Amino acid sequence: MNPDLSRERAAASFNPETITVILDGSPERTRRRREIEGLVLNDPSFQHEDPNFLSRSERYELAIKKSALMVQKMREHGISDPEEIYWFKSFVHRGRPEPLDLHLGMFLPTLLNQATPEQQERLFMPAWNLEIIGTYAQTEMGHGTHLRGLETTATYDPSTQEFILNSPTVSSIKWWPGGLGKTSNHAVVLAQLYTQGECRGLHAFIVPIRHMGTHEPLPGVVVGDIGPKFGFDETDNGFLKFDKLRIPRENMLMKYAKVEPDGTYVKPLSDKLTYGTMVFIRSMIVGDSARSLSRACTIAIRYSAVRHQSEIRAGEPEPQILDFQTQQYKLFPLLATAYAFQFVGSYMSHTYHRISAEIQAGNLNELPELHALSAGLKAFTTWAANTGIEECRMACGGHGYSRCSGIPDIYVTFTPACTYEGENTVMMLQTARFLVKSYKAVLSGKRLDGMVSYLNDVSQHRVQPHPVAGRSLVKDINDIQNLVEAYKQRAAWLVVAAAKNVNTDSKRGKRKEDAWNKNSVDLVRASEAHCHYVVVKLFADKLSEVLDVAAHRILSSLCLFYALHGISKNTGDFLQAGLLTTLQVDLVQQRVKDLLAVIRPNAVALVDAFDYSDTQLGSVLGRYDGNVYENMFEWAKKSPLNKTQVHESFHKYLKPLQSKL
């Protein structure tokens, strides 16, 4: 063990295991998670070379080999609980995506949710046994966010009782679905349904795309890989183009909408339920934000405790870089954010399950707020984690840029989350729509529940365009409840201002939609403030559940630090809204620096508590034992460019040139 890390761990004021259990939810879950990780770590068939040394084709091949093995082993070990499957998968693939993700995560669930009993009977077992391997083909080259704009058509031909699938333009080619490029032989295809001469909107079809025996593309199908991306080397994101491909009528997923043999269209009863899946996935992404940022923080903070550089006092030995205030100021806000998002992630997951149960019981009341909250928090947390991961990388100096740091991999794996499952700005505007609607409801006399209930007081409120000079709402900047209140008032102030501006522009004769667009920057700002309030509130709420005194103390400091740092980065808002005086802003900025020193002795223990094994971190810089330099040297020697000491290129290109010049 590196002596710096030993010293850091000995100096911590709390036991990291206590916080690990808090993060997992219970000792039993911590135990089981570790047990499942052990199944992978101790299985020699899951050991492999660092994928960074492989070409993309080799990485894909390695991934599919491991995915096949993973399915087999999960069945052998009897792992079937969704959360346990998630753990097993992420241990096997070390947090990276894999070619069967869409089959397991979208194709099978879609069959379960949208297929008729007859279709399930016919398709589910073959899919379960990987004879049918499917993906979910929705996005097209020219259409992502705006589903109504999708161009792929499915035209019903009653004479043969078939649908004709067609890609009328280049922009209509299905683009991006994971596992489509090479792996799948089927796809759920979203297409505009035409029957009896009328367009009936988007519907889902089970479409065979490759021969189940030979794996050759079927006639009428052009399919392939969309080429290299920033990351996701293991995944064959694909394209799919139909040239009037015919599929039997029975391949339309008909649990809700139907097309009768004669072409008569039967409407679905409700479309609220597909809504639920979207909410679920976005809530999951909040948890992904927390985990990805936690991993990057673990690497950067451990490395900063081990790395010595420069000098604080002339002539003395080089200090740990974690002792530089500027380094603390880079990393500790991210550490606090990682903790905040961990708690927000588990709140979202619990809330989703609670509200799902109510939906099953027919109560849809809370769904709109959950929908708005999951959209906004998805955007808020992915943006913050995305920036934060790169800040962690750059806080590691040059070595952060080496693939051996593991952070480039975390970044390229995570960053698409800002775009997929709802582009972040679009998400923020969805939340804004809910906030403005809620505000209008208040104005018309309704009372609100849930996270937006602060809008209830808005009319008789202190929310004013500008502060009364020298007065402020916050009595004590060290009282977390005071700060939660300040975040709440800031959100209220921005929501009201944006809503009023939209309203004013509408009254001035702008079309409602143009007024919305013209104020969308402010609407996004209001949504962000709302989400920020929710995150601070949920972090503060969590503290009451922490019973261990030492854990409570450090998490309280971290929560206070998160709230104060957020204010110090947005002082303009708090000053403009009259929530703080300039003198208080000075105090906040000073207190943020004081808290850096409070967190400093516990920083390593706080990342240890995230409990990532070395294998899962995939980082030489972030090793638990701190043995960095020797391992970096061993890692480098394995670089493919070192397979021979002499490089042929020298003899081939440079040597002949010497005589010519």
Kindly list the catalytic residues: 421
Among 144, 177, 333, 406, binds a copy of itself (CB under 8 A): 144
Ranges within 178-197 binding a copy of itself (CB under 8 A): 181-183
Q: Given the complex with a copy of itself, which of 66 and 291 has the nearer CB atom?
A: 66
Residue 2 and residue 218: Cα distance in Å, rounded? 58
Element (H, E) at 154: strand 153-157
Among 24, 84, 390, 457, binds a copy of itself (CB under 8 A): 390
Among 120, 161, 520, 556, binds a copy of itself (CB under 8 A): 520
Residue 164, both tokens: 């004709």
Using rule CB under 8 A, residue 31 touches a copy of itself: no
Ranges within 392-421 binding a copy of itself (CB under 8 A): 393-394, 397-398, 400-404, 408, 415-416, 418-420
Q: Given the complex with a copy of itself, which of 27 and 228 has the nearer CB atom?
A: 228
Non-local (6+) Cβ contacts of 83 within 8 A are none
Q: How far is the CB of 75 from a copy of itself (least distance, A)?
A: 7
Ranges within 537-596 binding a copy of itself (CB under 8 A): 570-576, 578, 582-583, 585-586, 593
* 3-state SS, residue 486: helix
* 3-state SS, residue 199: strand
Using rule CB under 8 A, residue 308 touches a copy of itself: yes
Using rule CB under 8 A, residue 214 touches a copy of itself: yes
Distances (CA, A) of 255 to 207, 269, 270, 360: 17, 10, 11, 17
Ranges within 450-509 binding a copy of itself (CB under 8 A): 465-467, 469-470
Among 48, 65, 267, 446, binds a copy of itself (CB under 8 A): 65
Q: Which of these ranges, 219-227, 365-373, 452-460, 471-479, lies near a copy of itself under the rule CB under 8 A?
A: 219-227
Q: How far is the CB of 83 from a copy of itself (least distance, A)?
A: 22
Q: Which of these ranges, 201-209, 260-268, 347-355, 644-652, lies near a copy of itself under the rule CB under 8 A?
A: 644-652
Q: How far is the CB of 511 from a copy of itself (least distance, A)?
A: 6
Residue 536 and residue 544: Cα distance in Å, rounded? 14
Using rule CB under 8 A, residue 650 touches a copy of itself: yes
Paired with 206 in beta bridges are 188
Residue 118 and residue 113: Cα distance in Å, rounded? 13
Among 225, 250, 260, 457, binds a copy of itself (CB under 8 A): 225
Decide the pairing of beta strands 153-157 and 198-208.
unpaired
Among 71, 245, 379, 499, binds a copy of itself (CB under 8 A): 71
Residue 97 and residue 89: Cα distance in Å, rounded? 9
Q: How far is the CB of 42 from a copy of itself (least distance, A)?
A: 22
Q: Given the complex with a copy of itself, which of 225 and 260 has the nearer CB atom?
A: 225
Using rule CB under 8 A, residue 654 touches a copy of itself: yes
Q: Is the dihedral of CA 210, 215, 220, 221 positive or negative?
A: positive
* 3-state SS, residue 447: coil
Q: How far is the CB of 269 from a copy of itself (least distance, A)?
A: 25
Q: How far is the CB of 611 from a copy of itself (least distance, A)?
A: 27
Ranges within 429-448 binding a copy of itself (CB under 8 A): 429
Q: How far is the CB of 324 from a copy of itself (least distance, A)?
A: 6
Among 173, 375, 599, 605, binds a copy of itself (CB under 8 A): 173
Q: How far is the CB of 67 from a copy of itself (least distance, A)?
A: 8
Using rule CB under 8 A, residue 129 touches a copy of itself: yes
Residue 348, both tokens: 């979202």
Tell me the one-letter amino acid at 629. Y
Residue 68 and residue 89: Cα distance in Å, rounded? 11
Residue 343, both tokens: 């708690």
Q: Which of these ranges, 22-30, 151-159, 289-297, 647-655, lies near a copy of itself under the rule CB under 8 A?
A: 647-655
Among 90, 425, 482, 556, binds a copy of itself (CB under 8 A): 425
Element (H, E) at 192: strand 186-195
Q: What is the dihedral of CA 651, 655, 660, 661, to 10 degrees?
A: 140
The reply, when asked if residue 178 is annotated as ligand binding, is: yes
Please tell me the count of residues contacting a copy of itself according to CB under 8 A.
140
DSSP label at residue 44 = G
Ranges within 347-376 binding a copy of itself (CB under 8 A): none
Residue 380 and residue 491: Cα distance in Å, rounded? 14
Q: Given the complex with a copy of itself, which of 429 and 540 has the nearer CB atom?
A: 429
Tell me the one-letter amino acid at 250. E
Which residue reads 């809910």 in tokens?
A: 434
Q: Which of these ranges, 140-148, 253-261, 478-486, 598-606, lies near a copy of itself under the rule CB under 8 A?
A: 140-148
User: Please, is 397 exposed, middle or buried when counting C-beta atoms within 10 Å of its C-beta (0-12, 13-18, 19+)?
Assistant: middle
Among 6, 45, 47, 55, binds a copy of itself (CB under 8 A): 55
The reply, when asked if residue 235 is annotated as ligand binding, is: no
Q: Which of these ranges, 253-261, 319-327, 476-484, 557-565, lies near a copy of itself under the rule CB under 8 A?
A: 319-327
Binding mask of the shown chain, residues 244 to 283, with x at each position contacting a copy of itself by CB under 8 A: ----------------------------------------
Among 80, 146, 361, 545, binds a copy of itself (CB under 8 A): 146
Considering only CA atoms, which of 591, 530, 525, 545 is closest in space to residue 350?
A: 545
Asked if residue 253 lies in contact with residue 110, where contact means CB atoms within 8 angstroms, the answer is: yes
Which residue reads 């391992």 in tokens?
A: 631
Q: Which of these ranges, 131-139, 243-251, 280-288, 437-445, lies near a copy of itself under the rule CB under 8 A?
A: 131-139
Using rule CB under 8 A, residue 135 touches a copy of itself: no
User: Could you please report the per-residue DSSP string of 300-334?
Assistant: HHHHHHH-B-S-SSTTSPPPBGGGSHHHHHHHHHH
Residue 450 and residue 493: Cα distance in Å, rounded? 18
Based on its alpha-carbon atoms, the radius of gyration of the chain, rounded to whole angstroms, reads 27
Residue 516 and residue 501: Cα distance in Å, rounded? 9
Residue 529 and residue 526: Cα distance in Å, rounded? 5
Q: How far is the CB of 526 from a copy of itself (least distance, A)?
A: 13
Paired with 320 in beta bridges are 308
- Please list, residue by residue across 282-301, b when 16 or more beta carbons sit within 10 angstroms of its beta carbon and e when fewer do: bbbbbbbbbbbbbbbbbbbb
* 3-state SS, residue 191: strand
Q: How far is the CB of 365 from a copy of itself (least distance, A)?
A: 27
Binding residues for FAD: 139, 178
Binding residues: 139, 178
